[in-house]
Homo-oligomer: A and B are copies of this chain.
Amino acid sequence: MAGSETKERKILVAVDEGEESSYALSWCLNNIVAENSKDTLILLYSKQPPPLYPAMDGTGYVFSTDVIASMEKYGNELAESVMEKAKKLCKEVHDVKVETRVECGDPRDVICKTAEKLGVDMVVMGSHGYGMIKRAFLGSVSNHCAQNVKCPVLIAKRPKSAAPST
């Protein structure tokens, strides 16, 4: 792209467990990031916040601290595995500077806040960050970000032909 060799752009890529986000990252590496560019990819993963259970007077059902610890451990391992996969993908395409960030919270807030805080030049994300049901209730993550992030947002949709044949 014009003058890309001299510009130092910060590109925030929202990553999650889904194939759609891997596709978005891969598309970004192949179409946006220049070979030998000074771009920095910031891989951002939004982790579910740890469950908070105030004293319950209803069902009285409370997770034991063991269960909560297990859930947190699982969350951390998931974040780590998503990041490892994303970093591997980056290395496979070309040697771009990569930073990783794991933040707790709703991906819609996390992406918007992080984009603003870091003053990124662009946000890249897949078009589906939630399952169908959750999306119906909470709205689309990508729609929310496209409306609220102040910089350009690229929403990548995995072509049907690239879907696994299962």
What is the interface of chain A, defined by CB distance below 8 A to chain B?
1-4, 9, 24, 27, 29-35, 93-94, 121-122, 127, 140, 142-143, 146-147, 149-157, 159-160
Contact = CB atoms under 8 A, between A and B. Distances in A.
The 8 A-B pairs of least Cβ separation, nearest first, read A152-B156, A154-B154, A146-B155, A143-B143, A153-B155, A1-B34, A2-B30, A1-B31
A78 B102 CA distance: 48
A67 B25 CA distance: 52
Contacts of A93: 2
Most chain-B CB neighbours within 10 Å: which of A27, A122, A155?
A155
Contacts of A146: 127, 142-143, 146, 155
A22 to B, nearest CB: 14
Contact of A157 (B27, B29, B149): B149
A23 to B, nearest CB: 9
Contact of A150 (B30, B152, B159): B159
